[in-house]
Amino acid sequence: MARVTLIEAVTMALGWELDHDDRVVVLGEDVGVNGGVFRATAGLQARFGADRVMDTPLAESMIAGMSIGMAAQGMRPVAEIQFMGFIYPTVDQMLNHAGRLRHRTRGRLHVPMVLRAPFGGGIHAPEHHSESTEALFAHMPGVRVVIPSSPGRAYGLLLAAIRDPDPVVFLEPKRIYRLQKQEVEDDGKALPLDTCYILREGDDVTLVTWGAMTFETLRAADELSKEGIRAEVIDLATISPIDMDTILESVEKTGRLVIVHEAARSCGVGAEVAAGVAEKGVWDLQAPIVRVTGYDTVMPLFRLEYEFLPSVARIVAGVKQTFED
């Protein structure tokens, strides 16, 4: 069992799958010789050769399009986009082709590809490198969006994403790429997609979050526990489709829901979670749903970065709001 960071867990999962499934190829800008901007593919080209781990030109639309073509013809491409800020040329490919090829061909073709990209702020990078636009992809029918929040889930969910028969956008919270280490067994065991992960159980309030924000949210839960408020912390993990059952069950128990995300507030995935609870869980709510989120602005430059990102204090305040009359 190795003690690895989240980024090392990504490398480990890619290595396992390249080793055990000949159909898997890794492609992207600088993923080969260089090993990737964040070192996600470090050493993989040396191990598996330039046919399996391919450097591509700077052309994201082509990277996605080529992946779709390979996937539709039986391969398992895992493409890397260097930053979420560069992912938007792939939107046309993902929305118009990857997500609908199964439907369009009446099931004759499907697209088992993964589009990996680091996302989110907190590393003092320029603003277009720091945004969280997972909702764009969550809105696309036929495309799964998966976000890990720990080395263990990065490993298990990436394996599941590669093995999934349909396209998965796999967004990696880069702020926590190297923040913590975890014992992860390199055993090729995937974790289930389309389910939430309950990081902590509690009876008083449900906190739903994902990605790097799990870090602050768990700390907020620690703070709250000092005041006798036992928070249940749920990691959404699969952003689309959302496992509403787990959330509804939790809200049934706690009667209070606080959603924490880094992305801008309006039309974020938090709004979808809130709507789902409003539709089916309203009978259980003891207080209005609260969202603690980034702001509806462009991500600020780095000195104000942590003003934009929800802090432990903002999350605690959001939870207390649900206990006001």
Partner 1 sequence: MSMKTFNLPDLGEGLPEAEIVTWLVAEGDVVKADQPIVSVETAKAVVEVPAPWSGRIAKIHAPDGTILPTHQPLVDIDIEDAEGAAPAAQPAAKPEPAPPAGREDSGTVVGRMMSTEEVLEDTAVAGRRRRGGAAATKAAPAVRALARQLGVDLARCQPSGRHGRVIAEDVKAAAGKAAAPAAAREVPRVTLPPGTPQPLRGPRRAMAQSMSAARDLVSQCTIFDDADIHYWPPGQDITARLLRAVAAGCRGEPALNGFYDGEAVSRQLEERVDVALAVDTPDGLIVPVIRDVGRKSLAALREDLNKLKTATRERKVKPEDMRDFTITLSNFGMMAGRYATPVVVPPTIAILGSGGVRHDVVAVMGGVETHRRIPLSLTFDHRCATGGEACRFLAAVIADLALPE
Question: Does 241 contact partner 1 by CB under 8 A?
Answer: no
Nearest distance, CB of residue 303 and partner 1, angstroms: 7
Query: Footprint of partner 1 on residues 295-324 (CB under 8 A)?
Result: 302-303
The amino acid that residue 216 corresponds to is E
Candidates 98-106, 120-128, 258-266, 312-320; binding stretch for partner 1 (CB under 8 A): 120-128
State which of residues 122, 173, 211, 270 lies at the interface with partner 1 (CB under 8 A): 122
Asked whether the beta carbons of 315 and 260 are under 8 A apart, the reply is yes
- Angle between the N-to-C axes of helices 312-321 and 213-226, in degrees from 0 to 180, rounded to the nearest 10: 60
Q: Could you give the C-alpha distances from 15 to 9, 42, 68, 116, 197, in angstroms and in order?
A: 10, 10, 21, 15, 25
129 is catalytic: yes
Q: Which residue has the tokens 């009667």?
A: 255
Task: Report the residue number, 99 or 118, with the smaller CB distance to partner 1.
Answer: 118
Place of tokens 């998965």: 168
Kindly identify the residues of this chain, within the stretch 38-77, that bind partner 1 according to CB under 8 A: 38-39, 42-43, 46-47
Tokens of 192: 């289930």
Question: Which listed residue (97, 110, 129, 261) is catalytic?
Answer: 129
Rounded to 5 degrees, φ, ψ at 153 are -75, -30
Residue 77 or 121: which CB sits closer to partner 1? 121
CA 115 to CA 63: how far, in whole Å? 9
Instruction: Return the range that interacts with partner 1 (CB under 8 A); candidates 3-11, 19-27, 59-67, 265-273.
Output: 3-11
Of the candidates 19, 21, 166, 252, which one interacts with partner 1 according to CB under 8 A?
252
Element (H, E) at 218: helix 213-226
Could you say which of 129, 144, 261, 291 contacts partner 1 (CB under 8 A)?
Answer: 129
Joined together, the tokens standing for residue 175 give: 């702020």
Q: How far apart are CA 242 and CA 231, in angstroms?
A: 20
Residue with tokens 């998966």: 146
Nearer to partner 1, 74 or 325 (CB): 325
Identified binder of partner 1 from the candidate list 5, 56, 90, 133, rule CB under 8 A: 5
Name residue 270's amino acid.
Answer: G
CB of 54 to partner 1, least distance (A): 17
Enumerate residues 180-199 that contact partner 1 by CB under 8 A.
180-183, 191-192, 195-199
3-class secondary-structure state, position 61? helix
Closer Cβ to partner 1, 12 or 292, answer by number: 12
Q: Which residues, including other chains, have CB under 8 Å from residue 73's CB and lie 6 or more apart?
A: none
Taking the complex as a whole, the smallest distance from the CB of residue 84 to partner 1 amounts, in Å, to 13
Site string for partner 1, 210-239 (x = CB under 8 A): ------------------------xx----
Sign, CA dihedral 242-246-252-254, equals: negative
CA angle 49, 97, 20 (to 5 degrees): 30
Least distance from partner 1 to the Cβ atom of residue 30, Å: 9
Cα dist from 282 to 156, 249, 257, 278, 288, whole Å: 33, 12, 11, 5, 9
Q: Which residues are catalytic?
A: 129
Binding-site ranges for partner 1 (CB under 8 A): 3, 5, 7-8, 33, 37-39, 42-43, 46-47, 122-126, 129, 150-153, 174-183, 191-192, 195-201, 234-235, 243, 245-246, 248-249, 252-253, 255, 282-286, 288, 302-303, 325
